[in-house]
Structure 1
Amino acid sequence: MAANQRLAALMIEAGFLDRAGEIGRKRFARAVSESKAARTAGRSYNHTYVSRWLSGVTPRDDATREGIREALCTRLGRRIDADELGFRTLVTTSPDLGLAYPERPDDGVGNVAELLEADLTGAAAVAEAPTSVAAWNEASVAWLVGAQKQLSDGAGPRKVGMADVERLRTMRGTFDRLDSTFGGAHARTALVQYLRGELPRLLRARAEPDVRRALFVAAGEATQLAAWMSYDAGSHGLAQRYFIQALGFADAGGDRLLAASLLDAMSHQASFVGRHREAANLARAARLGTESMSVPILRSHFHIMEARALARLGEADACDRAMNAAVENFGSHVSGDGPEWIGYFDAAELAAELGHCQRDLGRPQEAVVHATTALASASGDYLRSDFFVAMVLADAHLDAGDVEEGCRVAAKALAVGEGLDSARCRGYVGEFRQRLTKHARSAAVRDFVEGARTSTLWTPNGQ
């Protein structure tokens, strides 16, 4: 059995090997030697080279890897991406990987395969990458103007059906529940490992047109979750790249609402990292791209994301207009009138978002009202979201001068959220910590800090 199973499978499919791997190694060596890449580099190969490649040895030069890919493409009559060859990555991951909106759906498949691989190997180029303002702007414009080419037919040896789509969606749902309950950092690597093994293979397989469209939409949803979990874990550059590629998948599958929700999610992240003007523009782009579609619950969320950004910018009048539009659209929606994935956005979630806005506008009393309403009506299914709004309530009490109540609410939130592994949660705690500095002489603050020392969320690095 070959150590490089991916390469062996391609060679079998192309007729260079039989199932036992006993024939065709010399023929494959000739095909690689005759490739444009090998001839340009002046390289030639024999069956010993092929045996090494199949045993797991990775060619160190680009020309050989490209020659292998070219030989297989020629024989199979279809595109083969570098990640399909099964070679261990030796080249430095490009810092621009995943930032460009894919011109073709197949480009997106290759981008995500490389991103997942780089993610799993801890490549610093993506694991430690900052966000790019230009990438947000370019992705939103590309989607709005319809820059992506049409979805092509799959060309892989395997055919997939709706059962494969449902399996992908079911697995996504499982990881989504883990994310909401324990934080993005808890099971993020497990999701990435699953997607690396399944997603490229499924998206490259043959399928009926309706199945292929549904598969790309499901891939968009799954990649979006990888983005959210990376964002929650604090890997913002990586999350941005997953969001952009998920946008391409949603576009390829023809799901305009999912695509708009991805811009909405990018707006959420942009606000969190302090790019508030870009956040407002991304939310507006989501709304602009779905103007012809009457889905009030989504319009409500687009407006409230814009409001969140405007509140941070201190633009009170514009923020008030956006909040009013969010409330108006929410009030006109009928339960179940939007996609299933927006079902979490209920009255409690809207109240929580309004609480965020009022806190950031310097209106603590209004923030207390909204945050209290959100907590009182929360379903309890989204522990992390409940933690966020509890910390907003604690902030608002401090801002209103009620130090003891602010500390009490924060202490309760820390106790409830102790099991959350989330950089965002620690970010909320960090904001509360900053507010406490103004009340350092308060006995209530000293008692709170002493009790909070044992909380993993209280310590800045989560240690």
Structure 2
Amino acid sequence: MRRQTAGQLIRRLRESHRWSQATLAREACRAAGLPLDSLTRQDIYRYEKGQRTPRDWLPFIAAALGIPIEELKSAAAVKPEEASPTTLADFLPEGDPLAPLAARTGRRIGSAAVTDLAQRAHGLRLADDVLAGGDLIAPALRELRSAVRLYREGTYTDSVGRGLLIGIGELTQIAGWIASDAGRHDEAERIYRLGLSAAYAANDSTLSANLLGSLGYQRINIGDIREGLSMARTAQHQAETAPPRARALYFDRVAWAQARAQDAQAAMSALGAAGEALAEHADEDEPGYLYWVDADELHIMEARVYTELRRPLRAVPLLTAVLSRYNATHTRELALYLSWLAVAYADANEPEAAAETAERVITLSSDVASERTAERVRVVLGALERFRNVPQVGALLRAAD
């Protein structure tokens, strides 16, 4: 039987009291007879995430929550693998950032506003295909603020309200991606969590999973592999009835997380599941934000997984095949995918090919305002460092110094 960990129990009971993490910290301090800053909101956050165990604070947290200490001690003994599965709701932000204003003064909103919002979100997606985060962050945030204000201030039917929530969720997905590409990771996380609230309130599990998977993907890429993997897995499990291309995307993110965790078997299994899901794609009704998920994108992820697992002989053929037909106007993605090819060449002990590819990466990256490509340039140069004595590599590294 699966049970709750101490973190899961603390969060469930805290939310049943309608307390914030800061409030619980203060109440536990009062129960302990200590200064109110002896336990902080960040401590409660870490307890709930399983990053720390309360230990000495167990009796005071139990007292604050009104439960026997034995119940919390029992939960503290539960191992993560024995615990109840994580759900999308576990990743919702504190409070309700989309709560309507007490006095709505805005105009009556109709279905045309929902259509307009969807078109604006898709326009940002198409712009992101050819522009980078640094170029798009300002208009993306402007669109998002406008949409949230429309929802909070306007009056509308339940159907229109749900449509607005979905539109906000779709805007946050692309705005979060843009913020992340601009290197503004904290802001991207806040945006993704706002979108998760909107999609959850709209009962759109496919969109919720996409947002949670996007947040997990960012977490993985900035080094928080454990939490990123948890998010990717939860998104995949919570959207088992999603359209085929959505499920393929969620499995791909799990594969990437497992590769970063160096679990080759799990990564390969997830890649296989992604391929099987995509094979089911036909003419089904699906959200517009899945337009870019196709066989080539899955091959790119497969090659990235192989590169991460240091299997360059599998990665190179996949990357060269896809890149031979890749849209050259998508400069950022082209630079990113070439960066994986450069690393794979280096791992295959082909320094000249790696240097030639790296030079293309650097040239392309110089034209885009993307922190992703800048970071990949640093990774590629690091991979080439051991070949500094090779003339072509040495020249490239000296030019980059």
Same fold (TM over 0.5): yes
Aligned to 2:262: 314
Equivalent residue runs for 1:282-431 within 5 Å: 282-291=231-240, 293-334=241-282, 337-380=285-328, 382-431=330-379
Q: Which residue of 2 aligns with 1:46?
A: none
1:285-304 residue CA offsets vs partner (Å, 9 max, x unmatched):
1122122x152222211111
Residue of structure 2 equivalent to 1:219: 168
Distance 2:357 2:91 in 1: 47
Q: Secondary structure of 1:354's partner?
A: helix
CA contact (8 A) 1:348 1:375 kept: no
CA contact (8 A) 1:203 1:215 kept: no
CA contact (8 A) 2:232 2:257 kept: no
- Give distance in 1, aligned partners of 2:383 and 2:271: 25
Q: 1:313-350: CA deviations, max 9, x gaps?
A: 11111111111111222222225553221110111111
Which secondary structure does the structure 1 equivalent of 2:324 belong to?
helix
> What code does the residue aligned with 1:306 have?
V
* SS of the residue 2:87 aligns to: helix
Calculate the TM-score normalised by the size of structure 1. Answer: 0.63
Q: Cα offset for 1:242?
A: 0.8
Helix, strand or coil: the match of 2:382? helix
Q: Is the 8 A contact 1:183 1:422 kept in 2?
A: yes
Contact 1:184 1:421 in 2 (8 A): yes
Q: Tell me by how many angstroms 1:143 deviates.
A: 2.2
Q: How does 1:18-417 map to 2 (within 5 A)?
A: 141=87, 143=89, 155-291=104-240, 293-334=241-282, 337-380=285-328, 382-417=330-365
RMSD value over aligned CA atoms?
2.8
* Equivalent position to 1:436, from 366, 381, 384: 384
Aligned length: 320
Could you tell me how far apart the structure 1 residues matched to 2:50 and 2:382 are? 32
User: Whole-Å Cα distance in 2 between the matches of residues 353 and 258 of structure 1?
Assistant: 21
Aligned-pair distance for 1:186?
A: 1.1
For 1:261, the aligned partner's letter is N
CA distance in 2: counterparts of 1:136 and 1:264, whole angstroms: 17
Q: Measure how far apart 1:387 and its partner are.
A: 1.7
Uncovered stretches (5+) of structure 1, i.e. residues with no partner: 1-102, 104-131, 454-458
Superposition deviation, residue 153 in structure 1 = 8.2
Question: Taking every aligned residue pair, what percent have the same amino acid on both sides?
Answer: 25
Contact (CA 8 Å) 2:122, 2:289: kept in 1 or not?
A: no
CA separation of 1:194 and 1:305: change in aligned 2, threshold 3 A: closer
> Cα gap change, 1:301/1:197 in structure 2, threshold over 3 Å: closer, same or farther?
closer
Structure showing greater radius of gyration is: 1
Separation of aligned partners in 2, 1:135 and 1:413: 42
Q: Structure 2 length normalisation: TM-score?
A: 0.73
